[in-house]
Structure 1
Amino acid sequence: MIYYKTYIRGENCEWVTFVHGAGGSSSIWYKQLRAFKEKFNILLIDLRGHGKSKNVKRKWFADYTFADVSKDIIDVLNHLNISSTHFVGISLGTIIVQSIAEKEPSKIRSMVMGGAVIRLNFRSQVLISLGNLVKHIVPYMWLYRLFAWVIMPSQRHRESRSLFVREAKKLCQKEFKRWFKLTKGVNGFLSNLLAKETEIPTLYIMGEEDYMFLPSVQSHVKKQKNSKLSMIAKSGHVVNVDQPDEFNRLSIGFIQRQHSQVFAR
């Protein structure tokens, strides 16, 4: 089983599960923990090959799929007897949350999608194609630093860039290749995933400077009745790090409203 850590406030408290992005670990949520622990039970997860899950003795397959990674999280929820939870995801972690929503919708009370990835634009597709061409000959950290800079180019994104580069150093080259392969055909995967509107309440929290992914989210939310979009000024792709107080305020408020609405019915 992948590594996880819980913070339990009380038996009657709602659960919130945090899902980090590729190259990160559960440590990227350090600016959320204090605010969320005051109100919810918390489940932090390190995705396979990341953080402390890197040392988990388990026979991984040569290639990963989003279904495999999603099942890892579902297995943890079942192990902990968590029947349902709110999910907070960031970047590629939002794809995993959406995959869980398709496989096990009853497990999810609501979804908060930070820096959501629902479609790769032309520039990101070119980057990924280039990466796939050279991933066997170029050190993976060179590629990761390049992607981090392209996705988070501003000076005020520096902390987010540094955090993700620092976390990515804990991956090995082989693990990076496995995760990088997930990006191949991701647009088709996401199109199928999002073709049917989910009934799960969803809040997208995007940085106004997230030029790679914000436009597709704006277009998507306009067509969805159960989804809302909040944009945060002076923030790029990694909104929970760039503007943590606003991210916490929006996400906690959204989750609490879902809880209140259940009792109001």
Structure 2
Amino acid sequence: MDRPVIQYVAVERFVPVGYALSGPDSGVPLVICHGLGAYHMQWDAEARHFADSRPVLTVDLRGHGASAVVRNGRFEDYSLERMARDVIGVVQHCGFDRVDFLGNSLGGMIGLEIARLRPGLLRSLITCGTAYKFKLSPLVVWTRFAFYHLSGRRMPKIVARYATINKAMRPVVEEMYAVASRKVMHLIDRQIYIFDRLEVARAFKGPIVVLRGEHDTAINRYLDRSIDELKGKPDFRVIDLPGVGHFTNLDRPELFQRALEEALDHVAAVTKA
């Protein structure tokens, strides 16, 4: 399957959001959302694989990939709520009223925000590389800001080296971060260094599946606490991925796709019961 054609919808005036839709007309759609600085290219292999059996919708968050950078963008233009409303608008534009949602890192945060704003839109929530509650020091935000600017043209290569253990996938990461907006990443960093959607997850009535990468240590430090809090929730499940870091699907693509199939089979089983 060739790469699907990028289409656009302006959920908010003057902010066209890019998305790609592939697969059949039938089946529960799978919506996939990338992490900070990435875009739909991260999910090409998953889109090809899962579009054999269901619609697959990948969305670029505002300021990422094919989506517009807000002109003279300010802090509030990149809030989780506004980004989540963009994704909700794309889903509705495509005519879907109930979807399975997969998010990596920032994408998982967007999924949790959609669960807060429009829980009925989500049949299930699947996250990887996302902690449901954490609090970082503001120093982390400004250290990252310094890195974005002081690393210059080397930034994509440095990020690729440390973001994935799969050397074959490092060019993918480099390509994504070569076009990433440092300003946008900083504005979003300022939104998310304190994050808490644990109560949203507890209240969500559909299945939640966490795909936990063995070597995603920075996230797992906080994620493991969230998992302990959610263990008693009906239809909550954790699938461990050995030898995998933060870019979960790029580190071991075949392992990730099998885990995602297992997660979706779990969702289908418990939602039919």
TM superposition score category, shorter chain reference: 0.7 to 0.9
SS in 1 for 2:245: coil
In structure 2, what residue type is equivalent to 1:25?
Answer: Y
Question: Following TM superposition, by how much is the alpha carbon of 1:60 offset from its aligned partner in structure 2, in angstroms?
Answer: 7.0
Structure 1's 45 and 60: CA in aligned 2 closer, same or farther, altered over 3 A? Answer: farther
SS in 1 for 2:131: coil
Show the counterpart of 2:266. 257
Contact persistence 1:151–1:210 (CA under 8 A):
no
Show the counterpart of 1:167. 176
State yes or no: 1:10 paired with 2:25: yes
Higher relative contact order, chain-length normalized (CA < 8 Å, sep 6+): 1
Show the counterpart of 1:99. 113
Contact persistence 2:103–2:111 (CA under 8 A):
yes
Structure 1's 244 and 199: CA in aligned 2 closer, same or farther, altered over 3 A? Answer: same
Q: Which runs of 5+ in 1 are unaligned?
A: none
Q: Any idea what the Cα deviations from partners look like across 1:15-64, whole Å, max 9, x if unmatched?
A: 00010111111111122123211221111111112222148xx7574231
Question: Following TM superposition, by how much is the alpha carbon of 1:161 offset from its aligned partner in structure 2, in angstroms?
Answer: 4.6
Q: Which runs of 5+ in 2 are unaligned?
A: 1-9, 11-16
State yes or no: 1:66 paired with 2:80: yes
Q: Equivalents in 1 of 2:73, 2:243: separation in Å? A: 40
Show the counterpart of 1:179. 185
Q: Any idea what the Cα deviations from partners look like across 1:166-222, whole Å, max 9, x if unmatched?
A: 201113xxx42133222225243x22x223413331111121111111122122112
Show the counterpart of 1:195. 199
SS in 1 for 2:103: strand
Q: State which of 142, 145, 155 in structure 2 corresponds to 1:129.
A: 142
Show the 5 A alignment for 1:240-255.
240-255=249-264
Structure 1's 21 and 69: CA in aligned 2 closer, same or farther, altered over 3 A? Answer: same
In structure 2, what residue type is equivalent to 1:6?
Answer: L
| TM-score, normalisation: structure 1 | 0.83
SS in 1 for 2:125: strand
Question: Following TM superposition, by how much is the alpha carbon of 1:147 offset from its aligned partner in structure 2, in angstroms?
Answer: 5.4
Q: Equivalents in 1 of 2:237, 2:46: separation in Å? A: 21
Q: Equivalents in 1 of 2:39, 2:147: separation in Å? A: 25
State yes or no: 1:24 paired with 2:28: no
Q: Equivalents in 2 of 1:27, 1:80: separation in Å? A: 20
Q: State which of 239, 243, 253 in structure 2 corresponds to 1:234.
A: 243
Comparing both structures, which one devotes a greater share of its residues to strand?
A: 2
How many percent of aligned residue pairs carry the same amino acid? 20
| TM-score, normalisation: structure 2 | 0.80
Question: Following TM superposition, by how much is the alpha carbon of 1:146 offset from its aligned partner in structure 2, in angstroms?
Answer: 5.1
Question: Following TM superposition, by how much is the alpha carbon of 1:6 offset from its aligned partner in structure 2, in angstroms?
Answer: 0.9
